[in-house]
Structure 1
Amino acid sequence: MSRISVRGFAVASATAVTAVGSVVGVASGSTAQPNNDAEATAADTTLLADIPAGEQAQVQTASLTQQADAQAIAADASAKKDAEAAARKAAAETAVAKKAQAEKEAQEAKEAKQRKEAEQAASRSASRDSSSFPVQSSYSVAQIQAMARQMVAGGQFQCFSNIVNHESSWNYHAVNASSGAYGLFQALPAGKYSSAGADWRTNPATQIKWGLNYMNSRYGSPCDAWSFWQANSWY
């Protein structure tokens, strides 16, 4: 039984009481007018009192169920709203973090490129000074290394030196008996050195100039050339 039907039952009961009171008044000759507030008063009284005892538990259970359902619906709506708000916040934070990371990586890449370009420019600039070294009939390993230090950028020299050590041990007259590769960098054919100067056979500075230009043009820098050499045992 719904709450509406219960209230209707109470109203009907109040109406019946009022009608009986009117009849009694007429029979007794009373001039009192019927009480028009009786129905409203009866309607405002506790409803369960007018319901048979066997049905009261059902009415109470139905009312509690309706309240629980309403509360559950409200709770679900609130939880859904909170979850949506949390998801939007998390998405916004993730987007901000990704943007910041992308900007950081872009800046680091830009700085690395600038450093590399500066090193390459320094190397190219230094290599043009190879002709400033006085020509000698022979050169020691220490003298050749001193030339290289003046021609190769400081941050690239160790990589440059590693390659020369592996290729010729700083012997500018080194020749590979099987292939004919020649000089500090074991150029093959040996005539490649001529692009740096006609005296390539006897002047280690000319060979250094050629080797530095080769590493810069083919790999980007001596250190990049050394990385390739480590992976392949040649460059």
Structure 2
Amino acid sequence: MSRISVRGFAVASATAVTTVGAVVGVAAGNQPGLDGSNTQATAADATIADLPAGQQAQVQTASLTQQADDQSTQADVAALKSAQESARKAAAQTAQEKKDAADEAKAKADAEARKKKLEVSRSATRDASDFVAKGSYTIAETQAMARQMIPGEQFQCFSNIVSHESGWNYQAVNASSGAYGLVQALPGSKMSSAGADWQTNPATQIKWGLNYMNSRYGSPCGAWSFWQQNSWY
């Protein structure tokens, strides 16, 4: 029969240790009343098989109880860690969702602000009919009209296109295609939708060109971006 050492059970119960020591002391021939150190030393070398059945049960119960307590503590710690990790992930997800919602709201607000700004800018510009017709116009006069008709932040883009297309000559004609005017409309008669004087009035050509860029590309800057990639618009 194998012998299980009491020391292997860690003698979790102080009462069990005292009882084991006392029983082993008697079994070894020691008389009651000896000092506790001898009793404890003898108990350390004892085995459960040396104890009466009742004492064995006490030692085993104490050891099993301690093991159960340790396992329960470990389970509690694991559960707490799991709960903390779940809470951390939930908090991180909530924070990300709030950030995404805030970013989306800001983007919408910015877009709305730009739209209103553009509308205000366009409403503040002059129409072709606001200018008195003349027999001829210089480049400087034509550019001055364009500055008054085109929103400020869009003028440079419009100017870039006109500079490449016609050099600001409102009577420019493309010999090969027949494109006409500041923005080189093809055919030039398209510009009649902006005014019957499209051949002689740069303001009418500017009006038509601005409407074309806005409807096809969203703005003169949109048209200029396309032109840079394709050399036409």
Same fold (TM over 0.5): yes
Alignment of 1:46-195 (within 5 A): 46-47=19-20, 49-50=22-23, 53=45, 55=47, 67=66, 70-120=69-119, 122-123=121-122, 126=125, 129-195=127-193
Gap change, CA 1:45 and 1:54, over 3 Å in 2: closer
Structure 2: any 5+ residue segments left out of the alignment? 7-14, 28-44, 50-55
Instruction: After TM superposition, give the deviation of residue 66 of structure 1 in Å.
Output: 6.6
Partner of 1:212: 210
Give the C-alpha shift of residue 56 in structure 1.
5.0
Which amino acid in 2 is paired with 1:55? T
The equivalent of 1:6 in structure 2 is none
Distance in 2 separating the partners of 1:101 and 1:138: 57
| C-alpha displacement of 1:185 | 0.9
Q: 1:227 aligns with which of 225, 228, 233?
A: 225
Change (3 A) 1:177 1:69: farther
Q: What TM-score, normalized to structure 2?
A: 0.69
**Counterparts of 2:222 and 2:116, CA distance in 1:** 13
Deviation at 1:199, TM superposition (A): 0.6
The separation in 2 between residues aligned to 1:43 and 1:122, in whole angstroms, is: 94
The answer to whether the 8 Å contact 1:48/1:56 transfers is no
**CA displacement at 1:86 relative to structure 2:** 2.9
Cα contact 1:200–1:207 (8 A) shared by 2: yes
Runs of 4+ with >3 A deviation? 42-45, 48-54, 59-70
CA distance 1:86–1:197, change in 2 (3 Å): same
> Larger deviation: 113-122 or 163-172?
113-122
User: In structure 2, what is the Cα distance between the partners aligned to 1:44 and 1:101?
Assistant: 64
1:52-92 deviation per Cα after TM superposition (whole angstroms, max 9, x unaligned): 855259x8899668745642542243133223223223322
The C-alpha deviation readout for 1:139-182, integer Å capped at 9, x for no partner, is 11111111010001111111111221222221111222221111
Please identify the structure whose Cα radius of gyration is greater: 1
TM-score (norm 1): 0.69
More helix by share: 1
Amino acid at match of 2:110: E
1:200 aligned counterpart, secondary structure? coil
